[in-house]
């Protein structure tokens, strides 16, 4: 195996594990707060990565796509947290907050990884492994946040939009859920999702993270 590939995998491993684990746990935790214990009873409100890793979606598919495209394209997913939305005390707004919890958790993680980067610089730590890992944590979490906010079910953004729409269009959008994954994959493979959604919104997220932490960075420097 290429040494640079091994180094890249090592640098990204921890940020990816944290990103998917806390994303899924956040869904289950907020669902429990709002009335549904399904994920909690199944042990999915957990920081244990093994409870959220899907062997196919988290490991096999990303590796296959990485090698098949020479590293140009990679896509994967974690095991979805089970939520019985009908059990939520307010199904409509409960669905909104449960769905939003995952992407919001990723944005917070992006802030924390950038904070780590700022602290490393302030402490005079210039070890490339740690600085690259901090940067990887920002990128991984922003991509996961933005991708999941795409307004098409079963992605989180689709559920958020369904909760915000009036009943008739919400029902029409929800009916797309069985086909949503394939639609998203087609958009990703053609590059359209990257061009019209991922790239511009990740850039905005990156600017937001930088702006939020600029006062602290200035203070430490």
Active site residue 127: no
Bond before 123 cis per omega within 30 degrees? no
Among 75, 76, 79, 30, smallest CA distance to 52 is for: 79
Which is the catalytic residue, given 24, 127, 135, 177?
24
Among 158, 184, 157, 156, smallest CA distance to 171 is for: 158
Give the C-alpha separation, 115 to 127, whole Å: 16
Residues recognised as catalytic:
24
């Amino acid at each position: 195996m290429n040494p640079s590939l091994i180094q890249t995998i090592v640098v990204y491993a921890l940020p990816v594990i944290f990103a998917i684990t806390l994303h899924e746990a956040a869904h289950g935790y907020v669902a429990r707060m709002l009335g549904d214990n399904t994920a909690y009873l199944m042990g999915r409100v957990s920081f244990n990565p093994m409870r959220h890793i899907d062997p196919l979606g988290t490991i096999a598919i990303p590796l296959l796509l990485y090698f098949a495209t020479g590293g140009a394209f990679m896509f994967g997913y974690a095991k979805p947290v089970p939520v019985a939305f009908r059990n939520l005390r307010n199904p409509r707004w409960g669905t909104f907050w449960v769905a939003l919890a995952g992407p919001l958790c990723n944005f917070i993680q992006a802030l924390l990884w950038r904070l780590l980067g700022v602290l490393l610089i302030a402490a005079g730590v210039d070890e490339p492994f740690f600085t690259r890992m901090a940067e990887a944590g920002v990128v991984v979490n922003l991509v996961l946040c933005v991708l999941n906010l795409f307004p098409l079910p079963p992605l989180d953004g689709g559920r958020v939009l369904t909760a915000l729409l009036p009943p008739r269009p919400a029902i029409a959008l929800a009916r797309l859920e069985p086909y949503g994954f394939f639609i998203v994959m087609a958009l990703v493979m053609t590059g359209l999702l990257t061009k019209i959604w991922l790239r511009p919104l990740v850039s905005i997220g990156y600017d937001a993270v930088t702006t939020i932490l600029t006062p602290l960075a200035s203070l430490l420097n």
